[in-house]
Amino acid sequence: MAKCIRCGRQLPSISFKKICQWCQLHEAEQRGEVTDEVRQRVMPTPWVRRESTITLTQFLLGANVAVFLAMVLASGSIEFSNAIAIHFGANVGPYTLTGEWWRLFTYMFLHGGVFHILMNMWCLWSFGDLCESLYGRWTYAGIYFTTGIAGGLGSIIWSPGAFTVGASGALFGLTGALIASIYLGEFSVSAVSSTGILSSLIFWGAFSLIFGFITPGIDNSCHIGGLVSGLALGAVIAKFAPHEGHASRRILFFLVAALVLAGCAVALAHYYGVPLRLGRSPFHS
């Protein structure tokens, strides 16, 4: 759908104009051609968040920092051992597959050290706030946690014995969703803004993946799992539920995504010959 070249609002499906009615009236008022009787009504820009309460991005950031501080108090260090990571809920294949499936959720709030959390929280603040403004709080939450879990499963598929911690799987998921949605034109963002945002997202994603491949200790399989699932979710939402008013469709998509992830988890357990169960892993001493 065509968009206004001034503000990015969507134009009618059949329109030969490049500027929306709001911008036309605004420009006419700036030139003094509009009388007080036909005063322009105020319309918020489409990408400005309307909630005045605490944002989900702020909540997630605070939760990550709180968990990090708890790990510092428990270990007496700002760099954490595998034992501490396991205790707080790291995603480790043998533990996750043998009953502790909640690790696919908790690992997103853990970090290996101070540099790790600083980098991820910077990305969360940058991309999360944008994603929340464009998608709305609940769709943003659905994308974040769905792609984070997908990243955790991707890590187990590629390296079942690896220790995985960090919000980066979910952050790559946000990146993928934003790339797909902006490219497919879900958001009412001006062409100049969308091109700049899209370029930044693609550059950051490509750079981070390359950095992950050449740097030991980085779980790129988690990043790829988050990115691919984010691209898929963003594309589906953009094509079939582009507006926040399509809440029921979006809920359906997330339910389907949850079933797909559950199916992947069952298949993984079957592949490794592990009985499907929920509870404390026998790997605990």
- Is the pLDDT confidence value at 115 over 50? yes
Q: Is the pLDDT of residue 203 over 70?
A: yes
pLDDT (mean) for 131-136: 87
The pLDDT of residue 276: 82
Q: Taking every pair of C-alpha atoms in the chain, what is the biggest distance, in angstroms?
A: 80
Q: Does the structure show a pLDDT above 80 at 66? A: yes
Angstrom CA distances, 201 to 48, 181, 194, stand at 19, 12, 10
Give the model's confidence band at 2: pLDDT under 50 very low, under 70 low, under 90 confident, else very high. low
Residue percentage of the chain with pLDDT more than 90: 49
111 among known catalytic residues? no
Q: What is the pLDDT of residues 265-281, one digit of tens each?
A: 999 989 988 888 888 88
Question: What's residue 22's pLDDT?
Answer: 67
Q: Cα–Cα distance between 39 and 25 in angstroms, integer?
A: 9
Q: Which domains does the chain have, with CATH numbers?
A: 1-43 (no CATH), 60-271 (1.20.1540.10)
Average pLDDT over residues 16-45: 61
- What pLDDT sits at residue 246? 85
In three-state form (DSSP H/G/I as H, E/B as E, the rest C), the secondary structure along 157-191 is HHCCCCEECCCHHHHHHHHHHHHHHHHCCCCCCCH
- pLDDT of 249 above 50: yes
Q: Enter the pTM of the model.
A: 0.81
Alpha helices per DSSP H over 45-136 = 56-75, 82-88, 93-97, 103-106, 114-123, 129-135
Kindly name the residue from 168, 181, 190, 208 that is annotated as catalytic: 168
- Please tell me which residue, 237 or 47, carries the higher pLDDT value: 237
223 is an active site residue = yes
Of 66-70, 102-106, 126-130, the one with minimum mean pLDDT is 126-130
Question: Is the pLDDT score of 43 beyond 60?
Answer: no
Q: Could you say which of 111, 155, 223, 229 is catalytic?
A: 223
Q: Has residue 221 got a pLDDT over 70?
A: yes
Least confident of 170-184, 191-205, 232-246: 191-205
pLDDT confidence tier of residue 201, bands split at 50, 70 and 90: confident
